[in-house]
Structure formats: structure tokens, C-alpha cells
Amino acid sequence: MEEFSGLFKKMCKTAELIQRKWEPEEWDSYCEKGDCDDGFVKDVHLNMISKEDLKKNYIWLPKHYEIRERLFPMFAGGAVKIIESIEKQFSEFIKDNIEQVQSHFSEKPDNIMNVLAVLFVMECRSPKVWNFDTEEWTKTQNN
């Protein structure tokens, strides 16, 4: 079991792109749709609940490595060169955004890389950015 911040849960809950792309796998972390409190979450056990019920009633709380392993190849169409380019963009994104994220997640430092990965996907693929003041996704200036 892992502990996730309520803010990260809220980010994931409203990150429609990430939730749409979620194909539940064994041991994914999730929380009920109404749970945005700090705390520990359960892991998915697909033998106990169907993928359809998971997607309907729960929120995927992806770890950064899951986003990189599952979503980056999906966005790149599986092309290795494009995946490498996405990884490079992600590294730059981390450098540019880590201080801001650390300031909001100082009490839950284990969430920082997960938050950065969600922010990256949403900004590059939605394109939406997280507004820490209003705690919601907003469209980027380019849209």
C-alpha cells in the first residue's frame, strides 16, 4: 500500500485524459472517486473486480514509471525514437517544474515524481495545466 496526498488524488480525478487512457493492470493504485483525502490506498486486484467497474467507480493514481511505461509508448505509437524524444521532453519538464511541485508537496515528497508525470502528460497532451490556487485543470494559453 502507498500513501497519496489528497491534492494528487484530486489532480488524477480530474485528469480526464489519464483516466480515459487507463487500462487497469494488476497492482495499480486507485481510490474511490469520492476519496480526495490524504492517506493510504488499496491496490487493484483484478480477480476481485472487473476492469469496467474499476474505471467506473475508481480513480487511477499512476506512479511516474507507470505513465512512462504505458502512456509514453502509446503517445509515440510505439516508435522508439519518439519515445526517446518524449523522455527528453519529460526530463526538461522536471527541471523547469520541480521547485513549484516540491513547494506544494513538501509533506508528501514521495508524490513529487508522480505529480510531475501527471502534469507533463496533461500539459503536453490535453493541453491543460494545473492551477494550484484554484486546484483545477485550465486550458493552456495556446488553446
Domain segments of the chain as ranges? 2-134
Per-residue pLDDT reduced to its tens digit, 105-126:
988 888 999 999 999 999 999 9
Per-residue pLDDT reduced to its tens digit, 37-78:
998 887 777 788 888 899 999 999 999 999 999 999 999 998
CA distance 80 to 58: 32
What is the helix, strand, coil percentage profile of the chain, to 5?
50, 15, 30
**Percentage of residues in the chain having pLDDT higher than 90:** 72
